[in-house]
Structure 1
Amino acid sequence: MIAGHKGEIPFLILTLPFLTGIACALCLLNSNPNFIATLLIALTTLFIGLNLTYNHFKLHKVRWLGGLLIVPLLFLLGWLVTLLHYEKRNDNYFTKQRSNYLVVNISSEPVVKNNMVRFNAEVVGSVNQKNVTKTSGNLLITIKDERALNLFYGQQLLIPSKYTEVEPPYNPGEFNYKAYLANKNIFYQSFLYPGQYKAIDYNKGNRLIAYAVNLRQQLVAKLKRNMHDSTAIAVASTLILGYKADLSNDVLQAYSKTGTIHILSVSGGHVAIIYGLLIYMLAFMNNKRSKLLRSVIIITLIWSYALLTGFSPAVCRAAAMISLVIAGKTYNRYINNLNLLAASAFILLLLNPFLLKDVGFQLSYLAVFGLVIFQPVIYKQLLFKNYMANKLWLFCSVSIAAQLITFPLSAYYFHQFPVYFLVSNLLIILPVTIVMYAGITLLLLPQISWLSAALGYVTEKSILSMNKMLVVIERSPYAGINKIWLTRFEHLLLYAIILFGMYFLYHRKIRWMYAALLCILLFVISIDVKKIKTDKTNSVTFLSLRKHKGIIFKAGNRGLILSDLPSTDKNFAYSVQPCLDSLRIISYKVLPFYGDTSTTYFVKKHGIVWFRNKKLLLLNDSSHIKSIPKTLAFNALYVSDNMHVNDSLARHQQIILDGTNSDTYIKNVMKLNVNNIILKRNKSLTILSN
């Protein structure tokens, strides 16, 4: 199923302890790299010494000794490269230097959204009065200024030394943007306005990347000249060049819900299409003398394409694998695909061990693992004599294998499953191929009015047809299963079910089926226990929203939300909806803070709320209550909009202060009662109400 013997997959075996070392280091980033380096050097010295004295000590009698040393060596290597990659521990990290200004180099292509320019920047110096100190570290910079539209990769800026730590998610289910940036070695961000930055130099980035960024911008401009529909242009730019800045959320949602989001992430499939085109174009170079030259040309062009798309992990993985395959075929060597996969992972993680926590990296490698291991097993389950039926089943087995291995992880991270993934993936094969070949031809050829217009027309119509098909599938009944919230235990159980099930199909041994059935039983029990517990739970969640108010009252699988945010607001979708989904609330109603409401489990009158066994007082600018008798007791006071609170009441009641209150107001209230709860820039509060 994996290999005939372990000699076919040495890199896979060696990569496992390396991955384990990286994983441990990511959990213990504050460990001492000097201690790890000392251990690594000691074991390396011992390993070399044993190899030099191999014959003298007759070590061939203890073959296990070499393996025993290689495992901890690779484990420590993974640990050490991770700690060295963690910039925040460096002595010259920019937050450890006193400074008035920072010198930064723009290290990513600036992206414009909502009239704001955002980019990553490398902090190369700190200015303290007249002294300039060399520093390290990365910073996420957002600028709200029309002139910032002219900023570009490699430009050097002088900015004020004003930055804040990237905030963690404050509400249940909210996207962890802090962890996402931490995987890129970014822990701080800066917001700038007109007059707060100054361009002081140019060409400070990598010249090769600068050339690729500039070339990609020119190619995107060429697509815009020869295509008319903005959505088609955005999809073409993303699909062919990996340029996602112009892609709308509606388009992303359509592709995500139909299980075809992978085509918008330039990956192995795109590289394979490029490889196929190059093989066809260079087919005449097939003799012994020209084979090596053809391989060099193909590998160079594939890595040039990888550079053009921004060196995404998926493209680098595919480029590394194809390069090794080409090298093997050139010299007539057999190479196990799983070994190639492990080798490419080892190289990429050696360069950037933080990729191990990147969701795209994980999904990309899992998908290829599924294709290499599971696809042949699935394909052999059905045999068709008809050529077309056999080809159709081949495509289906590829899609099933990739979806099967990535489903637990995608469900764990994204909480959804596209039911019609097989149909949608089959339908997009032809249009995606047409878009890639027509689009690439358009970009490679010089601008010839009639030919460029024709290629642009074909590319645009193919994308629009593909989008229409996906929209139909997205709007079909039961197109997707949403609100899937798995625990880590359930996530691992799903993988156990898949692995045991595939082992049963491959070996046909009943014990593997029993193991899969046992895991299914445990999975169902876990889901049922969780559902019963959820349906019986009543709670009140005070949300932490910037400049907005929000309280969720959960009664089993029903919910009622008091908020000044409408359900159509993007802040509601980002902070409130994920919380509702994570609480397993199926039906809910959004109500404003003003007005009275009465249901079977909730009563609100004049700012006083009765919910199960809890009684709350809501003080805000829409409240009719301006003063409360101090003898009236509440479980909590929820205060918004800097509303005045009676001193006596503040000392005897617990107060919850939301994000609409000013910092000065919060400080004054906290002086009255230090046990009060502040939601502003803090995690939300959930209390049970049974």
Structure 2
Amino acid sequence: MSKGAVGYPFVRAAAGLATGILLYVGLPDWYDLPWAAFVTGLLLLGWGVGRSAGSVLKPVRAGYGIGSFLILLALGWAITYQRTASNRPDNILHLADTLQAYEGVIVAQPEERARTYRVELDIRRGRYWRLSAGRAHSLPNWHPLSGRIIVYLDRADLPMPRYGEVWLVSGPPRPIDPPLNPGEFNYKRYLSYRNIYHQQYLRPFQRQILAYDPPNPVTRLATVVNRWADSLFTQQIGSRAEYGIVNAMILGVRDDLDADLYRSYSAAGAVHILSVSGLHVGILFQVLTLLLSFLVKRPRGKLLMAGLQLLILWFYALVTGLSPPVLRSAGMFSVVIVGNAFGRQQQLANTLGVSAFFILCFDPYALFSAGFQLSNLAVAGIGAWQSSVYQAFTFRHRWLNRIWELTAVAIVAQLITFPLGVFYFHQFPTYFLLANPAVMVLSFVLLPMSMATLAFSWVPFLNYGLSWLLQKTAWLLNLVVTQTSQLPGAAWEGLWLSPEALLLIYAIILFGAALLLTRNRAYLWATCAVAVLLAGLTIRDDYGQRHQRQLAVHFLPHRTAVSLTDGHTATLLTDLNTTDTRSFEFYLKNTFGQWGVSNLTVARALADSVSAIPGYHRTRDYGLWVWQGKTVLLVNRLTGRNHWRLPAIVDYLILRRNALREWNQLNGRIVARHIIFDDSNKTPLTDRLLVEAKQRGITCYSVRQMGAYVASLD
């Protein structure tokens, strides 16, 4: 029996489970699929066991392996079905009536935003309005309900909500909007993987605290420890920049992190250090292994060392508030620690398989988390290739060797994760090799020092010394990152990968690595073939982008955003505030990235400088844009009797800022081929006008209801 066939059983188990999860997400209504896979798997498994019965040496049987895989596939499908909250009949998603009020408990640590608190509520019961005979009436009794809601509570000088508070909330939540712009981040799908389908914005008078009833005592303890650590860092670290970094790295809280500093970390390729993850647990594990290695030679020293490692690792998990990425990694390293303590030989691939298997059993939707994918890929790549890269060069000096070892880790991790990073985040840090070794060294100092600062916070003088060192380490880390991010061409932005291109790039990486390790010529031909396919796909996409000519009326909440695109050049006309970069990055940036726009001009719709746009004429009432034979009219208001000098027929009429209140206002004034309402109009007004337009036979379009309006001008 070959080692490759049996050496990694949990890798195969995790692969089978993941396949079942993917099948459920793609085919959620195929209820016969898991039963067919389970029965077929049992038959194949029984046939394989029967054929090898009585044999001293158990040969590898294809039926045995396929049967086990099908059983695990069925298990993955069933677990995902069971863990999907929308399958519960009492879930709020199936409620046909309108909620009047509901009772819910806070089930996650609240987050502090600029103007609101972000809170996750788990509904327990609700009271609804029911329609009968065309009239709505309130049902007198409370009814059991389930579901999780994201609530944004207006701060209004209110104290931070606590995990476990039971709220009575008035008013109905609304479903989370799907992405309304091309390429926009799918926030609705992201939250659905966490079984959240609704959100609600609350004023203080809309909620009442009924009780304090934490649903999980362990999570309650974690939130208390997290808040204690936050207050301690607030008190002992003076400057906001350093406090924000420590808070992000240790507690997983980015509320106090400056936006410019975050962009610096992103440009330097060190943004991963700001999210509590498996990397932090791995650093802590390595430092603990180094510091406690003297115990190994003592009687029962391995067991004592394992106990201390587990204690500190899980204390760190509590400090982070039991962050899911830390829980995943702490579980994996706990397997490693226990195995080492009992002298069991560790195989990284199988350990990773154990971790992934149990994580997916508990949370099957973790499979779609970027953090889960990136961390598992990085660990797998480091385990497979880091040793080979490290051995390619040797240095006489010990510290040079250590720095090269860290650099080899960064190279392998970046190589294996950069396609996925580009796919999700659409940028590539050019100087990651320059920043990451220094960032890793400082992280090896900062993380254990943070734990020491917490552990010895009660010791006079020592606590001040540790906090001073912690603050200076964070300052040096910020300095390294900001200086790197200011280098010319620090970040290659605007990158876009399709799912097909992502798979082809990974095929090239895997075939190329196999070629270097085995020198087998077959992998050379495979690498060349996939590279040709990728080149063809890239040329096809670039050709389409070079010849695109289109008008777009984008969805931008309560704002106007109109763009004209010609090839890789686009002009965006908007009334978005210049300081509101977050809205642009969330709603619009990915659209232009997907279209391959490398030259974007942004003009403000109400600014005087907007007249510098070729073909654009602006008055107080309207703006007329003539572009390559097409006319675009943006109307601000239709009041007054001033004569408008317009073409006989306008190609695109964009109504904004509640300019149109009755369809008769257009009579004798504007004739348009296409009528579009942007989201600067009030929703009730637009909804009424759309109903009236249907009755009158007028064709029109609303970006709030239908998503961004995109028209090809070819």
Normalised by the length of structure 2, the TM-score is: 0.89
Match of 1:367 in 2: 378
Pairing partner for 2:279 from 258, 264, 269: 269
Instruction: Indicate how the Cα distance of structure 1 residues 51 and 590 shifts in structure 2: closer, same or farther if over 3 A, else same.
Output: closer
Change (3 A) 1:649 1:74: farther
Answer whether contact 2:515 2:521 (CA < 8 A) is retained. yes
Q: Give matches, 1:409-428, under 5 Å.
A: 409-428=420-439
**1:656–1:676 CA contact under 8 A, matched in 2:** yes
The corresponding residue for 1:688 is 712
SS of structure 2 residue aligned to 1:120: strand
Distance in 2 (CA, whole Å) between partners of 1:648 and 1:46 is 77
The 3-state SS of whatever aligns with 2:488 is coil
Counterpart in the other structure of 1:675: 699
What is the match of residue 593 of structure 1?
605
* 8 Å Cα contact 2:37/2:71 also seen in 1: yes
List aligned pairs for 1:10-409, cutoff 5 A: 10-32=9-31, 35=32, 38-39=35-36, 42=39, 46=43, 63-97=61-95, 98=97, 99-127=99-127, 129-146=139-156, 148-279=158-289, 280-281=291-292, 283-284=294-295, 286-287=297-298, 289=300, 291-409=302-420
**How big is each residue's C-alpha offset from its partner over 1:531-557, in whole Å with a ceiling of 9 and x where there is no partner?**
233122221111112211110111222
User: Match of 1:6?
Assistant: 5
Q: 1:683 to 1:269 in 2, by over 3 A?
A: same
Q: Offset at 1:39? A: 4.2
For residue 580 of structure 1, what is the aligned residue in structure 2?
A: 592
Return the match for 1:660 from 668, 680, 689.
Answer: 680
In 1, the alpha carbon distance for the partners of 2:330 and 2:688 equals 60
Q: 1:251 to 1:622 in 2, by over 3 A?
A: farther
Q: Distance in 2 between matches of 1:676 and 1:545?
A: 18
- State the match for 2:580 in structure 1: 569
Cα displacement (A) at 1:48: 8.0
Q: Which runs of 5+ in 2 are unaligned?
A: 129-138
Distance 1:47 1:298 in 2: 43
Give the aligned residue type for 2:356: A
State the match for 2:512 in structure 1. 501
Of residues 275-284 and 509-518 in structure 1, the stretch that sits farther from structure 2 once superposed is: 275-284
Matched residue count? 686
SS in 2 for 1:432: helix
Instruction: Provide, for residues 459-517 of structure 1, a one-character-per-residue CA deviation record: whole Å limited to 9, x for no partner.
Output: 11111111111111101011111100111221112111111111111112233233323
Return the alpha-carbon distance in structure 1 between the equivalents of residues 329 and 281 of structure 2: 7
Alpha-carbon distance, 1:184 to partner = 1.1
- Structure 2 distance, partners of 1:56, 1:581, is 60
- Check the 8 A contact 2:93/2:197 in 1, yes or no: no
Could you tell me how far apart the structure 2 residues matched to 1:486 and 1:292 are? Answer: 48
Which shifted more, 634-643 or 71-80? 634-643
Structure 1 residue 370: Cα displacement: 1.0
Q: Counterpart in 1 of 2:131?
A: none
1:640 alignment counterpart: 656
Alpha-carbon separation, structure 2, partners of 1:535 and 1:197: 53
Query: Residues of 2 paired with 1:246 and 1:158: CA distance?
Result: 30
In 2, Cα distance between the equivalents of 1:504 and 1:625? Answer: 76
Cα gap change, 1:533/1:63 in structure 2, threshold over 3 Å: closer, same or farther?
A: closer
- SS state at 1:5 partner: helix
Tell me which of 440, 444, 457 is aligned to 1:429: 440
The one-letter code sitting in structure 1 at the alignment partner of 2:18 is: L
Q: Check 1:120–1:603 CA distance in 2 against 1; reply closer, same or farther (3 A cut).
A: same
CA offsets 1:320-367 (integer angstroms, 9 cap, x no match):
222222222222221211011011001000000011111111111111
Q: What CA distance in whole angstroms lies between the structure 1 residues aligned with 2:528 and 2:44?
A: 45
Q: How far apart, in 1, do the equivalents of 2:705 and 2:345 lie?
A: 57
Distance 1:605 1:277 in 2: 64
Decide which of 595, 606, 627 is 1:611's aligned counterpart.
627
- In angstroms, what is the RMSD of aligned CA positions? 3.0
| Structure 1 equivalent of residue 468 of structure 2 | 457
Q: Amino acid of the residue matched to residue 626 of structure 2? A: W
Q: Does structure 2 conserve the Cα–Cα contact (< 8 Å) formed by 1:313 and 1:361?
A: no
Answer yes or no: is the 8 Å Cα contact 1:117–1:149 preserved in 2.
Answer: no
Amino acid at match of 1:16: A
After TM superposition, the structure 1 stretch with the greater mean CA deviation from structure 2, 92-101 or 368-377, is 92-101
Q: Is the 8 A contact 1:563 1:591 kept in 2?
A: yes
The answer on whether the counterparts of 2:112 and 2:160 sit within 8 Å (CA) in structure 1 is no
Deviation at 1:191, TM superposition (A): 1.1
Ranges in structure 1 where 5+ consecutive residues have no aligned partner: none
Secondary structure of the residue that 2:14 maps to in structure 1? helix
Structure 2 CA distance for partners of 1:45 and 1:688, relative to 1, 3 Å: closer
Structure 1, 542-551 or 125-134: larger mean CA deviation: 125-134
User: Partners of 1:62 and 1:480 in 2: how far apart?
Assistant: 50
With over 3 angstroms needed to count, the CA separation of the structure-2 counterparts of 1:108 and 1:615, relative to structure 1, is same
Please give the secondary structure, in 2, of the residue aligned with 1:372: helix
Mapped partners of 2:639, 2:503: distance in 1: 49
Query: SS where residue 243 of structure 1 aligns?
Result: coil
Could you list the per-position Cα deviations for residues 406-453 of structure 1 after superposition, in whole angstroms to 9, with x for gaps in the alignment? 000000111100011011011123322221222211100143342212
Measured in 2, the distance between the counterparts of 1:460 and 1:618 equals: 53
CA distance 1:664–1:625, change in 2 (3 Å)? farther
- Aligned partners of 1:46, 1:552: CA distance in 2, in Å? 60
- Matched to 1:104, the amino acid is G
Alpha-carbon distance in structure 1 between the residues aligned to 2:542 and 2:439: 37
